[in-house]
Amino acid sequence: MGAQMNAYLMSKDAKSQANFYIESLGGEIQFMNTYGDASGAPEAMKDKVMHLALTVAGTNSLMLSDAFEPVLYNRSVSLSLTYNDESEARAAYAKLGEGGESKYPFALQPWGAYYGEVIDPFGVTWMITKI
């Protein structure tokens, strides 16, 4: 039996967050629907994202939805990207960190890989590695 696992992020602003990831990592929105696409949605929710799927950094899938409750990200969950090319890894680290916070500078580590952690402007922690 096989399965594919994808990250699904609840967001304060799923459209803006998706566009930030597309600008930072490359990719495109594959599918998006709003609560207005469903019958009986309250007027205040009609433009909010019910489901959004995008590809980022190649063929990786990421999904988002606008949250009904306050979004509280913490470090108990991180998204990890592993690159074969150092310049691509450095660019991803820098772009994801614009307007965010560097938690661990991207640098050569004692185990031989380049690694860094950054929190993006939406509060998501990213682990960037170049092997």
Q: For the domain that residue 98 is a member of, what is the CATH number?
A: 3.10.180.10
Q: What pLDDT digit, counting tens, does each position of 32-60 carry?
A: 999 999 888 888 889 999 999 999 998 88
Let me know if residue 123 belongs to a domain. yes
The predicted structure's pLDDT at residue 4: 85
Cα–Cα distances in angstroms (integers) from residue 24 to residues 28, 46, 53, 76, in the given order: 11, 28, 16, 23
Asked if pLDDT for residue 79 goes beyond 80, the answer is: yes
My answer on whether 61 and 88 are in the same domain is no
| 74 vs 47, more confident | 47
Q: Residue 16's domain spans which residues?
A: 7-66
Identify whether 2 is part of a domain. no
Q: What is the value of pTM for the model shown? A: 0.92
Q: How far apart are CA 115 and CA 118, in angstroms?
A: 10
| pLDDT value, residue 70 | 85
